[in-house]
């Protein structure tokens, strides 16, 4: 049996990532993959990125990583949010160095994996787009069109910060949820665990407690722009 974890959407919340990595160690996970959005919109972008890189594993790019590299374009967020989010991006850049930016810039956008004949296709939002939103409530037709574009058994993505597992036409679709910024009303980190037994598999959404007060204090200790709004999101686990 092999245990494989998929984590994503850390968003600079290194306290949450600490707790998740401790949980992965406790569960004796064999392999971990990271599906993007590593450092933007949180108080500890540098430490979050360092923790991810210390895993020495495969990491893919998320939309927030792309934003750090090249900025936020008009139409990618609501007009009312672009100024403050651009300020947040500038603050994040100030915490990173050129090596960090190069690392984010060069990340791939998908993973094609195979373990014990179980094929896994992992990506951030959809296989062809870092920004597209596919919610848990989408119709079978939408999921079929936007997600199932390969010969995988399991499709794993992140981006929406709302974990779920769903089956469609014999395929398993998993959303990891978010390590650092959950949006489903439960203020616990989330990741996906896949356990493979020869040619069969079992999937689980894991929720992990972390020290939210410590994460909030990191916002207060920094000069992070928009900190009050981000603290509300942490506390409510909703946007």
| pLDDT tens-digit series, residues 148-197 | 988 999 999 999 999 999 999 999 999 999 999 999 999 999 999 999 99
Percent of the chain residues topping a pLDDT of 70: 100
Q: Confidence class of residue 86 from pLDDT cuts 50, 70 and 90?
A: very high
At residue 150, the pLDDT reads 80
- What's the average model confidence in pLDDT over 205-222? 96
Instruction: Return the H-helix or E-strand segment holding 81.
Output: none
Helices (H), the chain: 14-26, 45-54, 63-70, 82-95, 98-105, 140-146, 212-221, 227-236
Count: domains in the chain: 1
More confident residue, 120 or 150: 120
CB 150 within 8 A of CB 124: no
3 state DSSP class of 12: coil
- Please give the pLDDT value at position 123: 98
Share of the chain above pLDDT 90, in %: 98
Does position 141 have pLDDT exceeding 90, yes or no?
yes
Give pTM, 2 decimals.
Answer: 0.97
Query: Where residue 24 sits, what CATH number does that domain have?
Result: 3.60.21.10
pLDDT for the residue numbered 199: 81
Q: Please, are residues 208 and 189 in contact by the beta-carbon 8 Å criterion?
A: yes
Q: Rounded to the nearest 10 degrees, how much is the dihedral formed by the CA atoms of 222, 39, 17, 133? A: 130
Domain that holds residue 203: 2-236
């Amino acid at each position: 049996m092999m245990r494989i974890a998929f984590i994503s959407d850390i968003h600079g919340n290194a306290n949450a990532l600490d707790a998740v990595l401790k949980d992965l160690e406790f569960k004796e996970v064999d392999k971990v993959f990271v599906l993007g959005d590593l450092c933007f919109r949180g108080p500890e972008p540098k430490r979050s990125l360092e923790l991810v890189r210390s895993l020495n594993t495969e990491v893919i790019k998320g939309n927030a990583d792309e934003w750090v590299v090249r900025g936020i374009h008009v139409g990618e967020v609501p007009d009312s949010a672009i100024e403050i989010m651009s300020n947040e991006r500038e603050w994040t850049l100030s915490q990173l160095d050129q090596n960090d930016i190069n690392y984010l810039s060069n990340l791939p956008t998908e993973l094609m994996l195979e373990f014990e004949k179980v094929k896994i296709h992992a990506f951030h939002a959809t296989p062809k787009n870092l920004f597209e939103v596919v919610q848990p409530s989408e119709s079978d037709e939408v999921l079929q069109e936007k997600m199932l574009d390969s010969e995988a058994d399991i499709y794993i993505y992140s981006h929406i910060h709302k974990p779920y597992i769903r089956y469609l036409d014999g395929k398993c679709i998993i959303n990891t949820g978010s390590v650092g910024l959950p949006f489903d009303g439960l203020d616990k980190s989330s990741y996906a665990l896949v356990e493979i037994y020869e040619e069969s598999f079992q999937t689980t959404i894991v929720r992990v407690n972390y020290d939210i007060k410590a994460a909030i204090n990191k916002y207060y200790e920094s000069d992070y722009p928009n900190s009050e709004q981000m603290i509300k999101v942490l506390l409510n686990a909703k946007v």
